[in-house]
Amino acid sequence: MPPRAGTGDHIGRVNFTALYADAFTGGSSESATFYEKVKAAATAEANANSATTDARRAKRLLHDAARLVWLGDQIDRPDIALARPG
C-alpha cells in the first residue's frame, strides 16, 4: 500500500494540509486554513504565557494523530517489520 498524501519519508516531515485534506469538504484549501488557525492560536497562547492551553493541545493532537498515521503506513516496511513476530 503506498503512503497516503501528506506522509513523507520521515515522521518529522508530515504535510498536515495534505494529510487532513480529506477531512474537510473544501479539501486542501480548507485544511490549510484550519491548520494555520490552530498554529496561530497555539503561538499566541505560547507568546502570551497564557494559562489556557486549548490551542496548544489542539495542535499537539493534530501532530500526534499525524505521527500515528505515518507509523501505521510504515508498519509493513521490511526494515520495520523485521522486529515484529511472524
Question: What type of residue sits at position 17?
Answer: T
Checking if the pLDDT of 30 tops 80, the result is yes
Greatest distance between any 2 Cα atoms in the chain: 51
Q: Among the residues of the chain, which ranges form H helices?
A: 16-20, 27-47, 54-74, 78-81
Provide the pLDDT for residue 45: 86
Going by pLDDT thresholds of 50, 70 and 90, the confidence category of residue 1 is very low
Checking if the pLDDT of 86 tops 70, the result is no
- Across 50-54, 60-64, 70-74, which has the greatest mean pLDDT? 60-64
pTM above 0.85, yes or no: no
Tens-place pLDDT, residues 31-55: 999 989 998 998 888 888 766 688 8
- Determine if residue 13 is left, alpha or beta; phi over 0 gives left, psi from -120 to 50 gives alpha, anything else beta: beta
Q: How far apart are CA 5 and CA 52, in angstroms?
A: 33
